[in-house]
Amino acid sequence: MRLTAGLGVALGVALSSARASAYRPFDSTDANVAKPRELEFEIGPAGYLREQHDHFVVAPAIIANAGILEGCELVLEGKNRIRTTSTPGEPHDELGDAALSLKAMLREGSLQDKSGLSVATEVGALLPATGPDTGFGASAALIVSQRAEIGAAHLNGGLFLGRTRHPGTFAGLILEGPFDWPVRPVVEGFFEREFEVETIRTGLIGFIWKARDNLSFDGAVRAGQAADTTLVEVRAGLTWGFEL
């Protein structure tokens, strides 16, 4: 995915999970990068998240991709969660899921209109979260993608050092419908474990509508477990790209 110039907005956002930079509306990403001087915004203007008895409006969620060299992009992402339920001692706003990373192609393949697998790697810094006792972390991921007439698959796997200084691992699989469909169905399974902290397991089902070559809209429902907490999330947004 490509990352953009809304860097100033997303820099203020701090991170709570440790995955590779996402590809809307997923938690995982694809083995593709922006071309040099190409910018792309992935924006979720408003979403909804329920964690057990806590309810949040996610506004906004931003990923910015900027092509800096051939086969290499800079990625900045983050989101702001606004608590709609009153809990004594809890902050009303939570800045989270923020990271600054570098994504590079290792092998060009079907996503780049060539043959075989597309392979990329992504390494980055996890920015501190709103909560106490959190600092910087780091992550490294390998991404493998394959696209064919029937659709596309993107497999992610990686390791990270969390903001609480606990190591962890994560994996994700995205399946997409045919790219020549104007609206294609999508699904994802995602797993993340931060040792001695928590394990996250989620599934997602949604769609991507390609309105133009540089503009797509998406929507999805995500559900799963984080430790002993049930998660339900509604995501909707857009991806807009352009060249400088």
If DSSP codes are grouped into helix, strand and coil, which group holds residue 24?
coil
Backbone angles phi, psi at 35, to 5 degrees: -75, 160
Burial (CB count <10 Å: 0-12, 13-18, 19+), residue 126: buried
pLDDT of residue 1: 43
Q: Which two tokens stand for residue 196?
A: 């001695």
pLDDT at residue 43 greater than cutoff 70 = yes
pLDDT band (50, 70, 90) for residue 135: confident
Task: Report pTM.
Answer: 0.87
**All structural domains of the chain with their residue ranges:** 7-243
pLDDT at residue 166 greater than cutoff 60 = yes
DSSP state of 112: G
pLDDT of residue 153: 98
Buried b (16+ CB within 10 A) or exposed e, 21-55: bbbbbbbbbbbbbbeeebbbbbbbeebbbbeeeee
CB neighbours of residue 176 within 10 Å: 23
Residues listed for the chain: 244
pLDDT of residue 131: 64
**Nearest by Cα to 122 from 137, 108, 139, 109:** 139
pLDDT band (50, 70, 90) for residue 75: very high
Q: What is the pLDDT of residues 140-161, one digit of tens each?
A: 999 999 999 999 999 999 999 9
Q: What is the pLDDT of residues 174-222, one digit of tens each?
A: 999 999 999 999 999 999 999 999 999 999 999 999 999 999 999 999 9
Which of 31-40, 132-141, 176-185 is least confident? 132-141
CATH superfamily of 7-243: monomeric porin ompg (2.40.160.40)
pLDDT of residue 88: 67
How many contiguous H segments (helices) and E segments (strands) does the chain have? 1, 13
Q: What is the CA radius of gyration of the chain?
A: 17
